[in-house]
Chains A and B, each alone.
Chain A
Amino acid sequence: MSERLRRMRKNGVFLALPTILWLVIFFVLPLAVVLVFSFMSRGRGGVAIMPFTLGHYERAFGIFMIILQRSISLAALATVVCLVIGYPLAFFISTRRRRVTRQIALFLVILPFWTNFLIRTYAWRILLGEEGVINGFLLGIGLIDDALPLLNTQFAVLVGLVYGFLPFMVLPIYASVERFNFRYVDAAQDLGANELRVFIRVVLPLTLPGVLAGCALVFIPSVGAFVTPDLLGGTKGLMIGNLINKQFGGSGNMPLGSALSIVMMAVVMLSLLVYVFANRRQARA
């Protein structure tokens, strides 16, 4: 390598600087402001004023704990449901014999997600509403006498989350099943392992990287969901994202909203750490 090229490579840092500067100003700095705000008191109109206080965190882990718990458990439940639906689906897609079939099967999973997230979520209002499609159908065939309260419940939020993020589970698992060599299954069976054992000892460990990535990709946006609970949850399905949103309205409380955001960030960071840690352990094993 010539001296000139070496110099050029060192100068690469100048090429990176404008972007780094942009991200520091419009990404890091705003997060830092949120962190500082979260320790400040609430002033008139919901703005942040001195002195510093821990009060917002006390409330976040006090009266708002129930909403925090609900967000985490709904996100966890959505992740599990996505896994239960997504894992066999990814298997089904990647075990189709013809390439064209595989591509079409995968395409059919991705295509609905070209639609705007708002509209996909709204579609469930048509289905779940009191005068919606599902209730209309069930009343029509005489299975129920009164409309079921499906919309504006935690169940509706769960359905919305699963619907919103299912491809994030399917795609990484599909990628890892694609790489999986099915001869291992034959080998294990020839050695006398039964189906369950083959799955637990051979198939699952080898597709685990995809499963872990899928779980992280579903759990993280679910915890921070705002649109889904906003359109489907009503007051019963309120999640932390909605609570944060409320702090920025007319009778808002920006420092409280900031504190809630920091708590949510902490949950996200924690789940990322779990993901990285699990991935490392898996890679070593």
Chain B
Amino acid sequence: MSLDASAPRLVNEAAMGRNRAVRRLGTLGLWLNPAFAYFFLWAPIVILVLFSFNASRSVASFTGFTLKWYNNILNNVMGAERAFSTEIMLSAFRNSLFVGVIATAIATVLGTMIALAMARGRFPGKGLIDGLLFLPVVIPEITQAISLAIFFKVAFDWIATISGERILPGFHTIILAHVTFNISFVAIVVRARLADMDPQLEEAANDLGANPWRTFWRVTFPLILPGVVAGALLAFTLSLDDFVITFFTSGVGTSTLPVFVYGLLKLTVTPEVNAISTIMMVLSTLLIGISLALQGRAASRT
């Protein structure tokens, strides 16, 4: 309160006292709330990592340090008696990378194309296209997942009756699904980059006689490249991370890592699962950290 003594009294003493009390309570709250929030955010993760090193099978108390569970994973043991295949886990991981790379490549091209068209093109129906790009981001994953599952089934039934050839779900269906949900994310990131770019640069290239193709590769593309890279990395991360849509569109033998891990998590809490979770957590943190560092470097270069 910055009322000096000569200023007219706008607030009476009682109100001032009440204000001070409220403010002190507020200050306390402003410290307690983040303390609780950060505890809430971090405790589960810390505990998960901690208990992956716990000597006892139980998660009720920490009895000592061990690497036994990590060793079990490497030696095809899961839980006390259940068999677990390290090989299947690794092949699921390879599947994830395979799907991620291809889906990212396609989604990046399609997303960048529509971002360019929306930013530079003049044609009717843009509002409708905006809606079309926005919807996949907001509708619940489960809706997208089951609509694709039904669609593939209907389409494959149809193909089977026409050609007699039976197509089964597999990598192709997962990739088609991943491209579909990734296009919007790539488009959003690339459009943000295009919005920052000076369109006069393209006009200048055009005035100097460059054709649209040349203008794009010599002027526009180098300038939006950090955005395209960022969009691609986002798409790759989302693809590696996706569970729900993959779960509904994958076939036999094409499980990705999240689908494989889900099968383990569903059963019960075991120290081996904690160990796998910890490894996955470290991997994804590394991956995102590297991609952010790359983005930072790309952005600072331009």
Q: Do A and B come from one complex?
A: yes
Q: A10 to B113, alpha carbons, bound, how many Å?
A: 14
Q: What distance in Å separates the Cβ of A122 from its nearest Cβ neighbour in chain B?
A: 5
Asked if B183 lies at the interface with its beta carbon under 8 angstroms from chain A, I say yes
Asked if B74 lies at the interface with its beta carbon under 8 angstroms from chain A, I say no
Interface residues of A in 1-16 (CB under 8 A from B): 1-2, 4-6, 8-13, 15-16
Number of residue pairs across A and B with beta carbons under 8 Å?
262
Q: Select one of B140, B147, B203, B280 contacting A30, CB under 8 A.
A: B147
Asked if B296 lies at the interface with its beta carbon under 8 angstroms from chain A, I say no
Which residues of chain B are near A92, meaning CB under 8 Å? 30-31, 33-34
Q: A12 to B118, alpha carbons, bound, how many Å?
A: 8
B121 to chain A: closest residue by CB: A12
Q: Are A89 and B203 in contact (CB under 8 A)?
A: no
Q: Are A224 and B33 in contact (CB under 8 A)?
A: no
Q: Are A34 and B150 in contact (CB under 8 A)?
A: yes
Q: What distance in Å separates the Cβ of B212 from its nearest Cβ neighbour in chain A?
A: 5
Asked if B219 lies at the interface with its beta carbon under 8 angstroms from chain A, I say no
Q: With A12-B120, A192-B10, A261-B146 in contact, do A123 and B45 touch (Cβ < 8 Å)? A: yes
Q: What distance in Å separates the Cβ of A21 from its nearest Cβ neighbour in chain B?
A: 10
Binary contact readout A113-140 vs B (1 if CB under 8 angstroms, 0 otherwise)? 0111111101111110101110110011
Binary contact readout B164-190 vs A (1 if CB under 8 angstroms, 0 otherwise)? 000000000000110110010001000
Q: A143 to B38, alpha carbons, bound, how many Å?
A: 25
B29 to chain A: closest residue by CB: A88
Which residues of chain A are near B47, meaning CB under 8 Å? 123, 126-127, 133
Q: Which of B10, B142, B269 has the most CB of A within 10 A?
A: B142
Q: Select one of A11, A34, A118 contacting B258, CB under 8 A.
A: A118
Q: Are B59 and A2 in contact (CB under 8 A)?
A: no
Q: A186 to B2, alpha carbons, bound, how many Å?
A: 9
Q: A129 to B274, alpha carbons, bound, how many Å?
A: 14
Binary contact readout A262-285 vs B (1 if CB under 8 angstroms, 0 otherwise)? 001100100010000000000000
Q: What distance in Å separates the Cβ of B293 from its nearest Cβ neighbour in chain A?
A: 14
Binary contact readout A222-264 vs B (1 if CB under 8 angstroms, 0 otherwise)? 0111110011000000000100110010000010011001001
Q: Are B59 and A116 in contact (CB under 8 A)?
A: no
Asked if A194 lies at the interface with its beta carbon under 8 angstroms from chain B, I say yes
Q: A19 to B183, alpha carbons, bound, how many Å?
A: 8
Q: How many residues of B contact A (CB 8 A)?
A: 91
Q: Are B203 and A85 in contact (CB under 8 A)?
A: no
Asked if A54 lies at the interface with its beta carbon under 8 angstroms from chain B, I say no
Q: Which segment, of A60-68, A104-112, A172-180, A204-212, faces chain B?
A: A104-112
Asked if B82 lies at the interface with its beta carbon under 8 angstroms from chain A, I say no
Q: Are A9 and B265 in contact (CB under 8 A)?
A: no
Asked if A190 lies at the interface with its beta carbon under 8 angstroms from chain B, I say yes
Interface residues of B in 1-18 (CB under 8 A from A): 1-3, 10-11, 15, 18
Q: A8 to B244, alpha carbons, bound, how many Å?
A: 41
Q: Select one of B147, B177, B203 contacting A261, CB under 8 A.
A: B147
Q: Select one of A114, A126, A190, A248 contacting B285, CB under 8 A.
A: A114
Q: Which segment, of B86-94, B128-136, B228-236, faces chain A?
A: B128-136
Q: Are A10 and B142 in contact (CB under 8 A)?
A: no
Q: What distance in Å separates the Cβ of A137 from its nearest Cβ neighbour in chain B?
A: 8
Q: Select one of A27, A122, A264 contacting B265, CB under 8 A.
A: A122
Q: A6 to B117, alpha carbons, bound, how many Å?
A: 13
Asked if B83 lies at the interface with its beta carbon under 8 angstroms from chain A, I say no
14 inter-chain pairs at a CB distance below 8 angstroms, sorted by A residue, are A15-B113, A23-B136, A30-B144, A30-B151, A33-B151, A91-B30, A114-B284, A118-B243, A119-B265, A122-B265, A126-B47, A194-B22, A231-B266, A268-B138
A-B residue pairs, 8 tightest by C-beta? A12-B121, A224-B140, A136-B60, A30-B151, A16-B117, A123-B44, A30-B147, A19-B114
> Which residues from chain B sit less than 8 Å from chain A, CB to CB?
1-3, 10-11, 15, 18-19, 22-23, 26, 29-31, 33-34, 36-38, 40-45, 47-48, 51, 58-61, 110-111, 113-114, 116-118, 120-123, 129, 132-133, 135-136, 138-144, 146-151, 154, 176-177, 179-180, 183, 187, 202-203, 206-207, 212, 241, 243-244, 248, 258, 261-262, 265-266, 269, 273-274, 277, 280-281, 284-285, 288
Q: A23-B132, A166-B41 are in contact. List 12 more A-B contacts (CB 8 A).
A: A6-B122, A9-B120, A33-B150, A85-B36, A109-B37, A114-B288, A122-B269, A123-B44, A131-B59, A221-B141, A225-B140, A258-B150
> Which residues from chain A sit less than 8 Å from chain B, CB to CB?
1-2, 4-6, 8-13, 15-16, 18-20, 22-24, 26-31, 33-34, 37, 85-86, 88-89, 91-93, 105, 108-109, 111-112, 114-120, 122-127, 129, 131-133, 135-136, 139-140, 163, 166, 186, 189-192, 194-196, 220-221, 223-227, 230-231, 241, 244-245, 248, 254, 257-258, 261, 264-265, 268, 272
